[in-house]
Homo-oligomer: A and B are copies of this chain.
Amino acid sequence: LAARLTISIDGMGGDDAPGMVVEGAARALERLAEVEFLLVGDEERLAPLVGGFPALAGVCRVVHTKEVVTSEEKPSAALRTGRRSSMRLAIDAVAAGEAAGVVSAGNTGALMAMAKFVLKTLPGIERPAIATYLPTLRGETVMLDLGANVVCDAENLVQFAVMGEVFARNVLGLDKPSVGLLNVGEEDLKGHEEVKRAAAILQQSGLPIRFHGFVEGDDIGAGTVDVVVTDGFTGNIALKTAEGTAKLFGVALRSCLRGSLRGRLGAWLARPALLAFKRRVDPRRYNGALLLGLNGVCIKSHGGTDAIGFANAIRVAVNAAREGVNEGIKEDYAKLVAHRQNGPQAVAG
């Protein structure tokens, strides 16, 4: 039986908070056992919402605060003035050992800044990265960094590779995930200096990482590797470009089908198949990105998500806490550091 786990939730983060958050928590419960919630935010608004879901009310404690971090706030300002905000108190609960992980759909930069300040990074990790998994032709692929670090050097990319590999093993349950570095070509000569240096380090690291080499943008959807590593600028733009393309396709498909009687009839007949298709590429199923490299489980939900997406983010938090992703990263990263300081025998020994 799984151990009882508490997840703290920023009740006020997200475009449609707090309604979307509370409904999301209730939906998450339907598929989770032995989980409790600390729900942080305005009690006057949260309590009645929670009351609407009896199963949730039984396992949810509201922690009251009136303060919130807005989506426009600068990370540095939020860090300085938001010490009583719902986001901050939800993170504090993890640091205090009252919760095994935190979920927020609020301001990404503020969440990263606060979580880094409160939880600290794992030993040897300079910069945490935002990681998620995406649908591909072959299943699912982990991608990071998705925007935490706009400029990255080779060392950062190598750290992301280690963190992403552990994430893929523990959260996606892959046995020996392959890792690729995102680049503009597959040849060794292509790309900028940092990505080439990162590849050289990964090829020589001696870590038990299955390093594939470089991959290109279309390899993300093809599922060529299990983990795609890139800097936060490129990763954020690639992720959002994929989202935009998906939306364009959905809209174009719908408008073509609606444009004729035969199209409408066909779509009606094929409705179950079209719904299955929609489910398969539904971005809400992939909502919930890990802030990887922190000394604690911290999940960022898309700000514009709905209850179904938020429920998924909560499940990602529960999985990450139960599977000990951070412990795995800590161990693997220590091995890498030892190896690079002392040579391969240090890893073997």
Contacts and interface: CB of A to CB of B under 8 A. Distances in A.
A215 to B, nearest CB: 10
A137 interface: yes
A217 B237 contact: yes
Interface string A260-282: 10110111111111101100110
Contacts of A251: 137
Contact of A262 (B190, B252, B259, B272): B272
A193 to B, nearest CB: 8
Contact of A192 (B150, B216, B240, B268): B150
Interface residues of A, number: 64
A203 interface: no
Interface in A143-158: 147, 150-151
Contacts of A248: 135-137, 221-222, 281
Contacts of A234: 233-234, 237
A253 interface: yes
A244 interface: yes
Contacts of A281: 248-249, 252
Given A137-B247, A262-B273, A238 B241 contact: yes
A274 B262 CA distance: 10
Contacts of A135: 248, 252
A184 interface: yes
B263 A244 contact: no
A218 interface: yes
Interface of A is mostly: helix
Contacts of A247: 137, 218, 221-222
A236 B184 contact: yes
Contacts of A256: 273-274, 276-277, 280
A12 interface: no
Contacts of A274: 256-257, 263, 266
Nearest to A247: B221
Contact of A189 (B74, B266, B276, B277): B74
B249 A182 contact: no
A263 B248 CA distance: 22
A266 B259 contact: no
A67 interface: no
A71 B293 CA distance: 40
A327 to B, nearest CB: 30
Nearest to A75: B189
A262 B274 CA distance: 10
A52 interface: no
Contact of A241 (B190, B242, B270): B242
Given A262-B273, A266-B266, 6 more contacts: A217-B236, A218-B240, A221-B246, A246-B249, A265-B266, A266-B268
18 contacts: A74-B189, A150-B192, A151-B192, A191-B233, A192-B233, A218-B240, A221-B245, A222-B248, A237-B237, A241-B245, A245-B245, A257-B273, A257-B277, A262-B269, A262-B271, A265-B270, A266-B268, A266-B274
